[in-house]
Structure 1
Amino acid sequence: MAFEGHSTFGTEAGPGAELCCSLAVRAVLFDLDGTLVDSVGAYIEVARVAAEPFGFEVTEEQVRLALSSGGSFWKGIVPEDRSDGAAILKAISANAAREWPRILREHGKLFDGVLETLDALKGLGILLGIVSGARPEVLELLRPNGVLERFDAVVLGKDVSKSKPDPEGILKCLDHLSVAPADALYVGDAPIDIFASRAAGVRVVSVLTGAGDSASLSMHAPDRLIPSHTVLPAIVTSF
């Protein structure tokens, strides 16, 4: 794809709400965008900035759909009968790649309470991992206050050959941690995270802080559906 890293920049394209029973695990793996990092607004902005010089508009709905499904932001914005369509899409994708580091710095941030959530889980003896299709720049948001140091393994888009919903990233992270899929759970904000978790054989907790809404997430029956990462210490235990 023209913009290596997060697939959405490329040109290719039971409700579980009850909290009564704790999930016993050895490892918790996290998505980044929309889960630990408040970046949906940054993606909306980079899509606008990248497409606008060519006279095209990418709506917020398109961005959220792409983030939820692993598709491309640019799908369908250039008429199919344009002979220069492929070149335009390549240029838009290159624009996004060039502008992304700046826009992420200006519009992206950690959600409140991330450090406290991670420390609570670590205090239970739980291993922590990151599995995300995000570009490496996003890790800069985790460096202050030693947030990144809390993680025992990190797998990003550059580290895998297949992106979510393929389970490669989750399984690779678990291999680094020496944890079996049955002993882990994945935390994400989109239906694609549920699909990847099921394919990997791990349990999945969906959060309502990113691309997916309650209806779209509940439809695919995550093991738990929670408002944000801050609820995790109350529903997870170690063994």
Structure 2
Amino acid sequence: MNKTKCIIFDLDGTIGNTLPLCIAAFKKAIEPLAGRVLSDKEIIATFGPSEEGTVRALIPAQYERGIEDYLRHYRDMHAMCSAPFEGMTEVLDYAKDRNVRLALVTGKGWRSTEMTLDIFDIRSYFDVIETGSPLGPRKVQGIRSVLSQLGITPEESLYVGDAPSDIEASREAGVPVVSAAWAETADPELLRSFQPDRLFLTIEDFKQYMEQAVQ
């Protein structure tokens, strides 16, 4: 195993349990403008682009209002998830203490990403932050940008994410991938079917693996 010099994290469902918050904020913002009730499944089906893409898909005629309402509700409701998953800050501390470079590649838009990083008080851990695009998924480009900026090879890095799309993006970028299955929103069996390099059900198990990978 190559020594891991860089760990790239997803945000929602990986660092914190923010997916329920996202869905709740979308419902609160979009349902009044759409004049109907939205299911969780309908909202999740639009994920890939940033939240701007979700709003454009569901209420294109009221795009600007929808975005601003979403961000306002996202911030106001963030008490639903006021801290990272238990043990995650210790993971970040351990990596930083051993000079492992940390990066964030998320599909979230930059404004909601900044809100969450500030509320979690973890922004300073990350050397590079790549956020999503309203035009469509860009995790492959985000991962490649991180490696380019930090001067690290794909084999020396690791992506940690909770979705099948994270596995696919990592494979395309040539980066080893760990599936984070510790969130209530994760589907471990579905993730296993995509054959990640490793899958962990708890942050503690991931931390033990990481301690070996960064030696």
TM-score (norm 1): 0.73
For residue 196 of structure 1, report the CA deviation from its aligned partner.
0.5
Q: Does 1:238 align with 2:192?
A: no
Contact (CA 8 Å) 1:132, 1:155: kept in 2 or not?
yes
CA contact (8 A) 1:43 1:63 kept: no
Q: Does 1:56 align with 2:36?
A: yes
- Per the alignment, residue 103 of structure 1 pairs with 73
Residue 217 of structure 1 is matched in structure 2 by 191
Aligned to 1:42: 21
Residue number in structure 2 paired with 1:191: 164
**In structure 2, do the counterparts of structure 1 residues 163 and 119 end up closer, same or farther at CA, with 3 Å as the change threshold?**
same
Matched, 1:90 2:61: yes
Q: CA deviation at 1:48?
A: 1.4
Q: Distance in 1 between matches of 2:127 and 2:86?
A: 21
Q: Can you list the C-alpha shifts for 1:34-57, whole angstroms capped at 9, x where unaligned?
A: 111321112211231233222222
8 A Cα contact 2:101 2:127, kept in partner: yes
RMSD: 2.9
- Alpha carbons of structure 1 residues 128 and 189: separation in structure 2 relative to 1, 3 Å: same
Give aligned pairs, total. 204
Deviations 1:28-78 (A, max 9, x none): 0001111113211122112312332222222122334444x659657997x
Which residues of structure 1 form unaligned runs of 5+?
Answer: 1-21, 78-87
Q: Any conservation in 2 of the 1:162–1:168 contact (CA below 8 Å)?
A: no
* 1:182 and 1:201 in contact (8 A); partners too: yes
* TM value normalised by structure 2: 0.80
- The higher relative CO (CA closer than 8 Å, separation ≥ 6) is in 1
Query: Where is the helix percentage greater, Structure 1 or Structure 2?
Result: 2
Q: CA deviation at 1:199?
A: 0.3
Counterpart position of 2:124? 149
User: Percent identity among equivalent residues?
Assistant: 28
Structure label with greater radius of gyration: 1
